[in-house]
Each structure stands twice: as structure tokens, then as C-alpha cells.
Amino acid sequence: MNKAGELMIYADNAATTKLDEDAFEAMKTYLAIEYANVSQPYSFAKSAKSALKRSREVVAACIGAEPEEIYFTSGGTESDNWAIKSVLHLKNRNKHIVTSQIEHHAVLNACRSLEGFGVSTNFLPVDRDGELSPKTLEGALKKDAALVSVMLANNEIGTIEPIRELSGIAHEHKAVFHTDAVQAVGHVPINVKKLGVDMLSASAHKFNGMKGSGFLYVRNGIDIHPYLDGGAQERGQRAGTENIASIVAMATALRKNCDRMENTIVQLRNLENIFLSRLSQGRLDYVRNGSSNHLPGNINISIRGADGEMLLHRLDLKGICISTGSACDSVNTQVSHVIKAIQVPAPYAEGTIRITFGVDNTEKEAVAIAEAILHILESQ
């Protein structure tokens, strides 16, 4: 139901997720009662200070990191920019970044903005499933690079990249490895040590935390420089008064998502199957995009001869929220850079839609979305 009490099915969880109720409860204290600035020395700040410490420990434990390797930020975009722009400070390396063509614009545009500062970039192609092959990366690293950045999971098609192999190759070539894990954290098991990553970006609103908060993991031993200059917060590396309420909410939501992850994955795979089996009862000619190793609950399909934008608006009239491409790109009605990069055939490309189920979605909703799509397209 929406605010007006009308039927609403929200199936755009890759764009953002609903704030978790426990996270909301936990953060209230730090908005209205324990609202002290954590940098202050008086006793009133003690509770907020220990909440910050606890939150850092919780977040670190959820990704297999050490607490001092977590830097709280304003979200995925800041974390990505910080990681990418750190290339300017990496010593004794060619100022060269290797990344993929299907990264989020927070990475792509951060790379492009560096081109005016003497940094060269290489945007590598992916295969039809959206996977960056280790061989392609190996070939690209014949030219000495300071930084490799490859996303853990794609926000449009859900493909999970072979990060462990890719980071291994980057390290053989002495490059620092960053991964944008904004879509993956809280949804699939992550251990930064096993993945072998040096930096990892995350965003709270993708895992039932608050919008405008996130973190950057930076492995001990990686020489990071402040991206935001100012006060001494975050051990002098990220200035700005800590958004303690959002940080507490993020830690609460992440802990909860990690604790129930196994069950959620089963639930979301089931919703995918239910949706697809109802859809296949119609006469639609469509292709499913992304690799079989994809984010739970992500369904990206391209329907021959359909208009994804039209479909989105017709579904909206029925109270159903889905997406055509990346939500951050919703003003842009062109075929997305990801759909182009995976070479979806032209008759299908413009009919691309993305359904992303979350923990609150039901089997009934999965069926209702498939039926609404069939109804709209078959009655045209």
C-alpha cells in the first residue's frame, strides 16, 4: 500500500530499499536523545562515541574487515570517487586506471574527470553476460596501471564479477584493486580478505539503511589520502561531523541483512522463478540479461518490440514500481550503457526492464507483476 492506501508493489530494490524498522528504532536515540557531536570531550558525547565505535565494529565484521579499515562516508558515490581519485596519490605508478564499461556512473565519471589531470583510463569490454573476463584484464595490464576498479555486482543486470581472480591479476601487476560493492553488500556473502580487494565501496540505502550514508573499506597498508579536507574525523581521513544516527542505522540494517541472508537468498530466488514461470505462460519474445551468477532477486529482461519506458509508465498506473535501466539514470531515456555493452540485439534493447525483488516482496506480487506486463503488452 502507498500513503493514500492504494495498492502499490515496490519491485525496484536496486534503486533503493525501505528503511529497516529496527534500524529506524536504533537511530531515533541518536537523533533526539544522544545527539552530541562525537568529537566533543564532555560526558554527554560518550554514548554517541561508543555507538560510532560499535557501528564500525559491526560493519567491519559483516565484510571480514578490521574496524580501522572502515571509513564512513555519505554513500556509494562518495566512496567510489574517493577510491578512484586516490590514483593521484599512488606513488611510483603510471597514472593509469583500468575499469569496465559497465561500472556505475559514480566510477565512470570519476575516471573521466581525472582525464583532465593527466590520468589515462581504459574501459574494458565485458561479455554478453556482463562478465569481465580475467583474460581481458590480464591483457589490459600489459600497460602498467596504478588502479583497477571492477564492480562486485552490476546494478542493472545483477551480474556478479569474478572479483577474486580479477584482484589476483591486478596484484600480480602491482596495481591497487577497488571494487564498487554497492549492490552486493548485505545481499551476498562478502569477505574482503577472501576477495583480495584493497578498497570496497558500499551504500546503506541499498541494504535497508538510510540514504546519504555508506562506507569505504581501505585495507590496512594502502596509503589513502583524504578526499574531503577539514576536521580530524575518521582518523583524519574523512572530514565532516559524523552522521551518527545514519551510521547506527546502517550498522543495524547490515547486521540484520547478514544474519538473515541465507533465507533471503532462497526467498528471492523463489520470487524470480515464480515471476519468470508466470511470464513464460504468455506469448512474449524476450531475453533475460545478466549471468546465471547474479544478485538474488534481480531480473533484467529485454522484450522484442516493446518500449521499456512505456511499460514502466503503464505499470506505474497500476501501482507497480520497476525500472528500465539504472535508477540514477532515470532522466535518460536512451538504451543504457550496460545494455549497449552486453550487446542486447537492437529489436530487444529498447524493451528492457529491471525488476528487483526485496525482502518485503511476496509470491502474489511476483505473479501480479508478470500478469500486468503480459496484460499491457498483449492488449496493445
Dist CA 159 CA 90 (whole Å):
30
Q: Which cell numbers in the block locate residue 47? A: 554514548
Q: Which residue's Cβ has the minimum distance to ligand PLP?
A: 76
Between residues 152 and 169, which has the closer beta carbon with respect to ligand PLP?
Answer: 152
Residues written for the chain: 380
- Is 328 labeled as catalytic in the residue annotation? yes
Report the DSSP beta bridge partners of residue 105.
none
Q: How far is the CB of 231 from ligand PLP (least distance, A)?
A: 22
Between residues 227 and 286, which has the closer beta carbon with respect to ligand PLP?
Answer: 227
Dist CA 85 CA 99 (whole Å):
13
Between residues 61 and 327, which has the closer beta carbon with respect to ligand PLP?
Answer: 327
Dist CA 334 CA 227 (whole Å):
32
Between residues 55 and 74, which has the closer beta carbon with respect to ligand PLP?
Answer: 74
Between residues 11 and 182, which has the closer beta carbon with respect to ligand PLP?
Answer: 182
Dist CA 176 CA 188 (whole Å):
23
Q: How far is the CB of 291 from ligand PLP (least distance, A)?
A: 16
CA distances to 56, 279, 344 from 282, rounded to whole Å, are: 49, 6, 21
C-alpha torsion 24→29→33→36, nearest 10: -100
Q: How far is the CB of 36 from ligand PLP (least distance, A)?
A: 26
Q: What DSSP line would sit under 163-215, residue for residue?
A: HHHHHHHHHHTT-EEEEE-TTTTTTS---HHHHT-SEEEEEGGGGTS-TT-EE
Which residues are within 8 A (CB) of 294 and not within 5 positions of it... i.e. 6 or more apart?
153, 157, 158, 159, 160
Q: How far is the CB of 226 from ligand PLP (least distance, A)?
A: 19
Would you tell me which residues interact with ligand PLP (CB under 6 A)? 75-77, 80, 104, 106, 151, 155, 180, 182-183, 203, 214, 327-328
Contact assessment for residue 341 and residue 154, using Cβ atoms and an 8 Å cutoff: no
Nearest Cα residue to 66 out of 176, 221, 253: 221
Dist CA 196 CA 168 (whole Å):
7
Q: Among 62, 258, 321, 328, which one carries the catalytic annotation?
A: 328
Q: How far is the CB of 204 from ligand PLP (least distance, A)?
A: 8
Q: How far is the CB of 180 from ligand PLP (least distance, A)?
A: 5
Between residues 20 and 34, which has the closer beta carbon with respect to ligand PLP?
Answer: 20
Between residues 178 and 278, which has the closer beta carbon with respect to ligand PLP?
Answer: 178
Residues 276, 278, 280, 285: is their CA dihedral positive or negative? negative
Q: How far is the CB of 212 from ligand PLP (least distance, A)?
A: 8
User: How many Å is the maximal CA-CA distance in the chain?
Assistant: 68
Report the DSSP beta bridge partners of residue 200.
179, 217
Residues annotated as part of the active site: 328
